[in-house]
Amino acid sequence: MTTAPAPTAHHSARKVKVRLRGERSPLASVGLHLTLIVASVIAVFPVLWVLLTSLKPAAYATTTDFFKDTTFENYTGLIKDTEFLTWFGNSLVIAGLTTVLGVFVSATTGYAVSRFRFPGKRGLMWTLLITQMFPVAVLIVPIYNIMSGLGLLNQPAGLVITYLTIAVPFCAWMMKGFFDTIPREIDESGQVDGLTPFGTFWRLILPLAKPGLAVTAFYSFITAWGEVAYASAFMVGDENLTLAGGLQKFVNQYGAQWGPMTAASVLIAIPAALVFLFAQRHLVTGMSAGAVKG
Amino acid sequence: MAVHTSQSVAKAADDDVVRGRSRGTGNPPPPSRLRRALSTHWYAWTMVAPVVVVIGVIIGYPLVRGVYLSLTDANERNVARSIGVNHMPATYKFVGLDNYADALTGNQFLGTLGWTLVWTVSCVSITFVLGMALANILNRRIAGRSVYRMALILPWAIPGFVSVFAWRFLYNGDRGLLNKILSGAGIDGVPWLNDPTWAKFAVIAVNVWLGVPFMMVALLGGLQSIPSEQYEAAEMDGATAWQRFRHITLPGLRPVSTTVILLSTIWTFNMFPVIFLLTRGGPGEATQILVTQAYKFSFEISPRDFAQSSTWGVLILVLLMLFAAVYRRVLRTQGDNW
């Protein structure tokens, strides 16, 4: 391994133009860009297509003309003729609460699992993993019964609690990985300065964990915002529906009319995209448990 | 409290109970070992308590209940219910393991399981390969990298039911864009969601589209944590690009990839919304995976069959736990201390 490269290096130096480390041939660059462009188009196109369709009058909804008589009639109709705004508000409240509580609970759990050795820790990690294996289909009827027993059906709180059980296990895992990358010396210095374990966590560690928290927030929000099965089972009555449930009524009501549906889709995607914009800077660092130094 | 999700939850709940008791004064001989454990661990336990309680109540009880229902012949007609002011008590009875015997010897479960496995393996492997390729490209210095990255993560930022709707729109038989493009090129339209084989292809494609961003972001994070010195050293030794990938990148990504493969296998196996919203398991039962079929048993057929639905659900859980255990065992024999 130590002596081998000499002849090959000589050989390749003769054959190829000398390049700096990390430099590419123009052909390779073109190839990479082409790959990325094709992939990006596939990723963006379905979403873009819905956006374009929502701006077209109903008559042209399914034509392939990209821009034809651009209009906002789908949007105004949606807001005036349906309870869309109410559903939107309900979803916002539920997803917001899920995010705040989810971030807090996963952070404390992740921190405890990362820093302390305590009886039940291994089991807790396994439980968090196993919880993700539970199929909706098995849980939905019993959870429905519990919620109706607690009087939480048709209440935002019922859905928030349910969503927490979906989002928190994964988020706690992720936060544990993230806290593992923050040096323990910081905790120790906090204790030397007389902070309680909670004080250390709250004042020293949480501020350093912002990327991880951003990812957790993103994940909790997206989970709550886009959930369909529980939302349609637990919430009834026009004024209590969330977007997922509301939209289903809407499909029946409008049948094959794509216009209002696409407009609703665009409006639903906006808050998710905003949260995403806020979090995306941190996504890569937050998700990798080794990339960040304290 | 019926907490039997796993040893630990039960144990942690026990600890909580005991703590409550030992704080009170009435307990005659205070177990000093416990008190010591309490004084060292109380803040750790406090920090995990909300999760333990919520998971215990919202997951633990339904699980116990589900396992119980799977041992009975419960359906819509014989469970406790109220009709007007009359309350009808439950009349279903215990049938032992009959439901499991039926499921495991009948064709329906095994057939659905077969397709579920094909679905899971193809989705996870395609998603992983694409995610890996894109992460490797994005990890280079390349113009417009952040724009590409945003575009590629976009499918993750859109709520699932919206993007599935977008795909239904594209797949639409007569007026969908995909068929329009095909007919523009002089090719006959494809019955994307109405032909069993094409429908399988279509659902896998959508799930891959949804899954690649997560995979890519996770692997990108992993790539950035591999020290660049290793690549420099390998280049000095004359390693080719493929050798560097094979001997530095892949081993360096191992901790990340083992975790994301495990998670995405579990998620894909239970991927309810994609199948449910795209095809409802159709045409016929062609794209029905175990979890959508179990849902169908308890919500869509008449009379609703809670026992069979629970049986399938418990079997799903057992299969996934077996998978996780084997996966972990294999990793451990290969020297990972996960």
> For every residue of A239-286, which 3-state class applies, written as one string?
CCCCHHHHHHHHHHHHCCCHHHHHHHHHHHHHHHHHHHHHHHHHHHHH
Q: Are residues B143 and B42 in the same domain?
A: no
Provide mean pLDDT across the span A39-64: 80
Q: Are residues B247 and B308 in the same domain?
A: yes
- Indicate yes or no: CB of A276 within 8 angstroms of CB of B65: no
Instruction: Output the DSSP codes for A80-141.
Output: HHSSHHHHHHHHHHHHHHHHHHHHHHHHHHHHHHHH---TTHHHHHHHHHHHTT--HHHHHH
Distance CA B161, CA A147 (A): 24
* Low pLDDT (below 70) residues in chain B: 1-31, 81-85, 88, 173, 335-338
By Cβ distance, the residue of B236, B266, B297 closest to A132 is B266
By Cβ distance, the residue of A111, A126, A170 closest to B8 is A126
> In this prediction, does ipTM exceed 0.95?
no
CB distance B48 to B12 below 8 Å = yes
A156: domain CATH number is 1.10.3720.10
Q: Are residues B218 and B304 in the same domain?
A: yes
pLDDT in tens, A156-173: 888 898 898 888 888 888
Which residues 96-155 on chain B approach chain A with CB closer than 8 angstroms? 130, 133-134, 137-138, 140-143, 148-155
Quote the number of domains for chain A. Answer: 1
Q: Which of A55-69, A196-210, B128-142 has the lowest mean pLDDT?
A: A55-69
CB distance B142 to A33 below 8 Å = yes
Q: What phi, psi does B87 have (nearest 5°)?
A: -105, 120
Q: Tell me the percentage of chain A whose pLDDT exceeds 70.
A: 81
Which chain B residue has the Cα nearest residue A172? B51
Q: Does B231 lie at the interface with A, CB-CB under 8 angstroms? A: no
In a domain, B94, yes or no: no
Distance CA B155, CA B171 (A): 17
Distances in whole angstroms, Cα of residue B178 to Cα of each of A40, A45, A55, B211, B275? 18, 12, 20, 21, 19
Q: Does B220 lie at the interface with A, CB-CB under 8 angstroms? A: yes
Q: Which of A34-48, A230-244, B190-204 has the lowest mean pLDDT?
A: A230-244
Residue A94 pLDDT more than 90? yes
Distance CA B240, CA B248 (A): 11
Q: Which of A34-43, A250-259, B69-78, B228-237 has the lowest mean pLDDT?
A: A250-259
Which residues 38-67 on chain B approach chain A with CB closer than 8 angstroms? 40-41, 43-45, 47-48, 50-52, 54-55, 57-59, 61-63, 65-66
Residue A223 pLDDT more than 70? yes
Distance CA B45, CA A5 (A): 57
Residue A128 pLDDT more than 60? yes
What residue type is A28 in one-letter code? Answer: A
Provide mean pLDDT across the span A90-111: 92
By Cβ distance, the residue of B153, B166, B317 closest to A283 is B153
- Indicate yes or no: CB of A136 within 8 angstroms of CB of B291: yes
Which chain A residue has the Cα nearest residue B224? A291
Q: Are residues B209 and B322 in the same domain?
A: yes
In a domain, B92, yes or no: no
Q: Which of A59-63, A145-149, B120-124 has the lowest mean pLDDT?
A: A59-63
Distance CA B307, CA B94 (A): 10
* pLDDT of the residue at B26: 44
Distance CA B316, CA B113 (A): 9
By Cβ distance, the residue of B48, B66, B137 closest to A142 is B66
B147: domain CATH number is 1.10.3720.10
Distance CA A178, CA A189 (A): 19
Q: What phi, psi does B81 have (nearest 5°)?
A: -160, 165
Cβ contacts of B167 on chain A, cutoff 8 Å: 46
Cα dihedral A105, A111, A116, A120 sign: positive
Structure token pair of residue A27 = 């052909």
| Residue A18: band (very low, low, confident or very high) from pLDDT cuts 50, 70, 90 | low
* pLDDT of the residue at A1: 42
Residue B13 sits at the vertex; the CA angle it makes with B321 and A213, to the nearest 5 degrees, is 70
By Cβ distance, the residue of B51, B169, B177 closest to A109 is B51
- Indicate yes or no: CB of A127 within 8 angstroms of CB of B159: no
Q: What is the mean pLDDT of chain A?
A: 78
Q: Are residues B32 and B166 in the same domain?
A: no
Provide mean pLDDT across the span A51-63: 74
Q: Are residues B20 and B149 in the same domain?
A: no
H or E stretch at B127: helix B107-138
Q: Which of A19-28, A29-38, A219-228 has the lowest mean pLDDT?
A: A19-28
In a domain, A43, yes or no: no
- Domain of residue B124 covers 99-333
Cis peptide before B196 (omega within 30 of 0): no
Q: Are residues B188 and B232 in the same domain?
A: yes
Q: End of a domain among B22, B50, B70?
A: B70
Q: Are residues B32 and B167 in the same domain?
A: no
Smallest CA–CA distance, residue B92 to chain A, in Å, is: 16
* pLDDT of the residue at A5: 45
Q: On the CB side of B190, how many CA atoms lie within 13 Å of its CA?
A: 17
Which chain B residue has the Cα nearest residue A267? B162
Q: Which residues pair with B94 in a beta bridge?
A: B72
Quote the number of domains for chain B. Answer: 2
Cβ contacts of B55 on chain A, cutoff 8 Å: 127, 131, 165, 168-169
Structure token pair of residue B46 = 């406090």
Which residues 78-117 on chain A approach chain B with CB closer than 8 angstroms? 105-106, 108-109, 111-113, 115-116
In a domain, B78, yes or no: no
- Indicate yes or no: CB of B159 within 8 angstroms of CB of A146: no
- Between the CA atoms of B296, B301, B304 and B306, what dihedral angle is there, to the nearest 10 degrees? -30
Q: Are residues B208 and B141 in the same domain?
A: yes
Provide mean pLDDT across the span A68-73: 75
H or E stretch at B82: strand B81-83
Q: Are residues B131 and B178 in the same domain?
A: yes
Which residues 163-202 on chain A approach chain B with CB closer than 8 angstroms? 164-165, 168-170, 172, 196-198, 201
* pLDDT of the residue at B172: 78
Smallest CA–CA distance, residue B160 to chain A, in Å, is: 6
| Residue A12: band (very low, low, confident or very high) from pLDDT cuts 50, 70, 90 | very low
The closest of B162, B131, B191 to B273, measured between CA atoms, is B162
CB distance A217 to A97 below 8 Å = no
Count how many pairs of residues, chain A against chain B, have C-beta atoms within 8 Å: 297
In a domain, A268, yes or no: yes
In a domain, B236, yes or no: yes
Cβ contacts of A130 on chain B, cutoff 8 Å: 5-6, 321, 324
Cβ contacts of B321 on chain A, cutoff 8 Å: 130, 133
Which residues in B95-123 are b (16+ Cβ under 10 Å) and which e? Answer: eeeebbeebeeeeebeebbebbeebbebb
* pLDDT of the residue at B124: 95
Q: Are residues B198 and B238 in the same domain?
A: yes
Q: Are residues B59 and B147 in the same domain?
A: no
Provide mean pLDDT across the span A265-286: 80
Cβ contacts of B61 on chain A, cutoff 8 Å: 142, 146
- Domain of residue A177 covers 76-287
In a domain, B83, yes or no: no
The closest of A174, A182, A166 to A226, measured between CA atoms, is A166
In B158-288, which residue ranges form alpha helices assigned H by DSSP?
Answer: 160-171, 177-184, 196-224, 228-236, 241-244, 250-269, 272-278
Residue A150 pLDDT more than 70? yes
Provide mean pLDDT across the span A56-72: 69
- B176 CB-contact burial (10 Å; exposed 0-12 / middle 13-18 / buried 19+): buried
CB distance B281 to B116 below 8 Å = no
